Amino acid sequence: MSVVPASLLTMETLTARLEEIKARKGAPPWSEALFISDDMQVYIVCQAPGHPNDTHYHEHDELWVIMEGELSWQYEFDNTPHIVRAGDFVWGPKGQWHHIEVLGDQPSIRVAIGVRGEYHRYDRPGCHPAPKA
C-alpha cells in the first residue's frame, strides 16, 4: 500500500459537514482534500466570483458535484456555456479542456472527484494557467 496524503476523511473521521469546513476555511478562494486513497482523490473547491480560473484538461475523466452557487462550464468541443447550480452534476471528459467561471455575486462550492495524482494540464492549444494574483 502506498503512502496516502492527509485528507479530511480518514478511518478515524468517516464523516464531514460542509458548514463546519466553511467555518474553518473562511472566505474564498480555498480548497480542501476531502478524501485521498490509493486510487482516487476528492477535493472541495470554494471559488469567489471574479476569481481567475484556468483552462486545462486531464488525462482521466473528472466529475463534480455542485454544492453552492452558480457556474459556467465551457468545453473544448462545445461553444455553448453549460450553466450549473447547486444540486447539479458535471462531467469533464478526459482529454478535453474545460474552463470554469463563477456567475453572480456569491461564491461557489463544488466537489471534484478524480483519479489520484491527476492535475491540471496546459500543454495543448487553448489551455493556459490562471493569471497570478
**Per-block average pLDDT, block size 10, for the chain (133 residues)?**
71 94 96 95 95 91 98 92 97 95 97 95 89 70
The pLDDT of residue 1 is 42
Q: Which residues contact 48 (CB under 8 A, 6 or more apart)?
A: 27, 28, 29, 102, 107
The pLDDT of residue 131 is 78
The pLDDT of residue 51 is 86
For residue 26, count other CB atoms closer than 10 A to its CB: 8
The pLDDT of residue 133 is 60
The pLDDT of residue 41 is 96
Closest by CA to 5, choosing from 30, 31, 41, is: 41
Domains annotated for the chain, with CATH where assigned, are 18-115 (2.60.120.10)
